[in-house]
């Protein structure tokens, strides 16, 4: 398929700037692939579509406060430093993006607030990318606490162009987030509340984790018309053995296995055995899923409404069928569903 087949006009006012007042009261559009039927529900109704022995696979990555603001040595210029990933824990070496990049050269030092945190620029990686080394006297625990205190929640400002608010710290994080490492939230999971989880448990639905540390590549635009030429950024992921056992048992019993979000789906589809079952894995994936694609593990997908020409929309299209997804998106715009990370949800069965 071509990039242009994923183009549509998204009214700016449908890009959610804030989450729903209550997580589980977002809207939920339900797509039935076999019949083409589309339903309009509320998220907490999701339990009606699942029963005993079905499985939800959630991504338990935890977003860390990746956006820092420092001041350049001598000039005092304010510089945004966006932490992408830690390259070397021993010497506090990090891969980052800086803005404005033109002001930051190798050898420059950055000072952060009133803290003792200082960073030196070691290398250029891309136009905005730099490798920096934090100069910090203290334990690892003290270092990470200092980073956490200095950083702010990395809501994607390209689509949510507002100042970060105190509420974002809680709401841009799933309730089951556990393993720190993401710079963007796995947004389909943001709709779950403890009440919904408890009601699923009472119905006999299993909820099992995988971990995929979402990188900024999830928002990187596709700039080639031929989708086979697009390269995804690699992301670190783990499929635990216990989760694989539960998923495979459900598949053998012909139950529903619902990937909660495109990141959970990518982790599972990157870890398929020769017998089309889920296998325990720990590693990196740059898997790009777009139509046509034969999904091996999940037979249901919970996802948000995505921006035009995004890789997330492409995966949803591969799962739903392109014509049905486009029909659903046109209906979502007409019915004023909210799009993107803080937006409404879609369940594809």
SS percent in the chain: helix, strand, coil, step 5: 30, 30, 45
Question: β-strands 61-63, 179-182: how paired?
Answer: parallel
* DSSP 8-state class, residue 271: S
Contact of 178 with 60, CB cutoff 8 Å = yes
Q: Distance between CA atoms of 23 and 2, rounded to whole angstroms?
A: 35
Which tokens belong to 39?
A: 């339903």
pLDDT band (50, 70, 90) for residue 340: very high
Region 305-316: mean pLDDT is 97
Domain residue spans in the chain? Answer: 3-63+170-348, 67-152
- Contact assessment for residue 29 and residue 39, using Cβ atoms and an 8 Å cutoff: yes
Residue 104 has pLDDT above 80, yes or no: yes
Helices 311-320, 262-269: crossing angle, 10 deg rounding: 70
Plot region of 336 (φ>0 → left; ψ -120 to 50 → alpha; else → beta): left
Kindly report, residue by residue over 39-58, the tens digit of the pLDDT. Answer: 999 999 999 999 999 999 99
Residues 6+ apart with CB under 8 A from 90: none
Query: How many Å apart are CA 13 and CA 157, to the nearest integer?
Result: 15
Which class is 3-63+170-348 in CATH?
alpha beta
Q: Does domain 67-152 have CATH number 2.40.10.240?
A: yes
Contact 308, 4 (CB under 8 A): no
* Secondary structure (3-state) at 1: coil
User: Are 57 and 247 a contacting pair, CB within 8 Å?
Assistant: yes
* Residue 3: predicted pLDDT: 97
User: Left if phi > 0, otherwise alpha if psi is -120 to 50, otherwise beta: which for 191?
Assistant: alpha
pLDDT at 241: 98
Identical fold, 3-63+170-348 and 67-152: no
Specify whether the CB–CB gap between 134 and 87 falls below 8 A: no
> Per-residue b/e over 25-58, b at no fewer than 16 CB within 10 Å?
ebbbbbbebeeeebeeebbbebbebbeebbbbbb
pLDDT per residue over 112-151, tens digit each?
Answer: 987 788 999 999 887 789 999 999 888 888 898 888 889 9
- CA atoms of 112 and 152, how far apart (whole Å): 13
Whether a cis peptide bond, with omega within 30° of 0, leads into 100 is yes
Calpha distance 220→281 (Å, rounded) = 26
Instruction: Output Rg (C-alpha) for the chain, integer angstroms.
Output: 21
User: CA 39, CA 46: separation in Å to the nearest integer?
Assistant: 12
Q: What is the mean pLDDT of residues 273-298?
A: 97
pLDDT tens-digit map of 196-247 = 999 999 999 999 999 999 998 888 889 999 999 999 999 999 999 999 999 9
Beta bridge partners of 231: none
pLDDT of residue 113: 80
Query: What is the reported pLDDT for 260?
Result: 98
């Amino acid at each position: 398929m071509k990039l242009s087949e994923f183009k549509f006009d998204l009214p700016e006012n449908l890009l959610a700037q804030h989450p729903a007042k209550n997580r589980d009261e977002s809207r939920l559009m339900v797509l039935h692939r076999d019949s083409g039927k589309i339903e309009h529900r509320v998220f907490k109704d999701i339990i009606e579509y699942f029963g005993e022995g079905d499985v939800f696979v959630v991504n338990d990555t935890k977003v860390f406060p990746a956006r820092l603001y420092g001041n350049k040595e001598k000039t005092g210029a304010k510089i945004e430093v966006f932490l992408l990933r830690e390259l070397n824990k021993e010497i506090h070496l990090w891969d980052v993006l800086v803005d404005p990049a033109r002001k930051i050269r190798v050898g420059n030092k950055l000072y952060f607030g009133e803290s003792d945190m200082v960073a030196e620029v070691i290398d250029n990686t891309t136009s905005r990318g730099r490798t920096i080394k934090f100069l910090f006297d203290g334990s690892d625990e003290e270092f990470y606490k200092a980073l956490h205190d200095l950083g702010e929640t990395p809501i994607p400002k390209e689509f949510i162009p507002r100042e970060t608010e105190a509420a974002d710290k809680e709401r841009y994080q799933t309730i089951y987030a556990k393993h720190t490492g993401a710079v963007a939230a796995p947004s389909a999971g943001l709709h779950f509340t403890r009440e919904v989880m408890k009601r699923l448990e009472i119905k006999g639905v299993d909820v099992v984790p995988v971990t995929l540390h979402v990188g900024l590549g999830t928002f990187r635009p596709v700039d080639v018309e031929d989708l086979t030429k697009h390269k995804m950024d690699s992301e670190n992921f783990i499929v635990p053995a216990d989760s694989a056992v539960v998923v495979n048992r459900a598949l053998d019993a012909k139950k529903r296995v619902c990937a909660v979000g495109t990141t959970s789906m990518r982790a599972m589809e990157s870890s398929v055995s020769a017998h089309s079952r889920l296998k325990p894995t720990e590693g990196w994936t740059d898997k790009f899923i777009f139509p046509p694609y034969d999904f091996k593990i999940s037979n249901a997908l919970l996802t948000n409404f995505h921006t035009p020409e995004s890789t997330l929309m492409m995966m949803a299209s591969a799962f739903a069928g392109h014509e049905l997804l486009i029909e659903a998106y046109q209906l979502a715009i007409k019915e004023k569903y909210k799009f993107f990370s803080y937006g409404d949800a879609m369940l594809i069965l």
